[in-house]
Amino acid sequence: MLKDEINPYIKLVSIQMELGIKLRGYIPKIAALTDQQSIDFYRRLSHSLTVSIRITLCDKSLSQSEIINRVKWLNEIGHRAITKIDLRPYDAEDTKEFFDMIYDYIEKNDNIIGQLEHCFVKSFNCLSS
């Protein structure tokens, strides 16, 4: 019984470490952006999260409660990304706090990891195109 109780915790720690390696790598990249590039990044991230929410809402393979829970956390991250558009100056500490908030939401539903990874990759790729 105790072993079963530990497994979800181990899974969460493993997911956080894996995600941490991937997403934390964005902190110095975001901190190195110009103000205009930061605005563009957060604007694209907000848009990508909105699209991700719409995809989640249409996913017939998910239960209604899972849809609502994922949408809640993706929407909250989207709101925070939107507020970052008006924040100046951008710095690494502020960006780290943004990622700490994201990790808090991932702890509430780790099923959003794949969507977040896609949103970050897409948003960053748009900067270089």
What does the pLDDT average to over 38-49?
A: 94
What does the pLDDT average to over 12-41?
A: 73
Q: What whole-number distance in Å separates Cα of residue 96 and Cα of residue 24?
A: 8
Model confidence pLDDT, tens digit, residues 48-95: 999 999 999 999 999 999 999 999 999 999 999 998 888 766 666 778
Q: What whole-number distance in Å separates Cα of residue 120 and Cα of residue 96?
A: 15
Secondary structure (3-state) at 57 = helix
Q: How many CB atoms lie within 10 A of CB 11?
A: 11
Enumerate residues 6+ apart whose C-beta is below 8 A from 33. Answer: 41, 90, 127
> What global pTM score does this model have?
0.80
Q: What whole-number distance in Å separates Cα of residue 54 and Cα of residue 50?
A: 6
Q: What is the mean pLDDT of the chain?
A: 82
- The one-letter amino acid at 113: I
Q: How many CB atoms lie within 10 A of CB 93?
A: 9
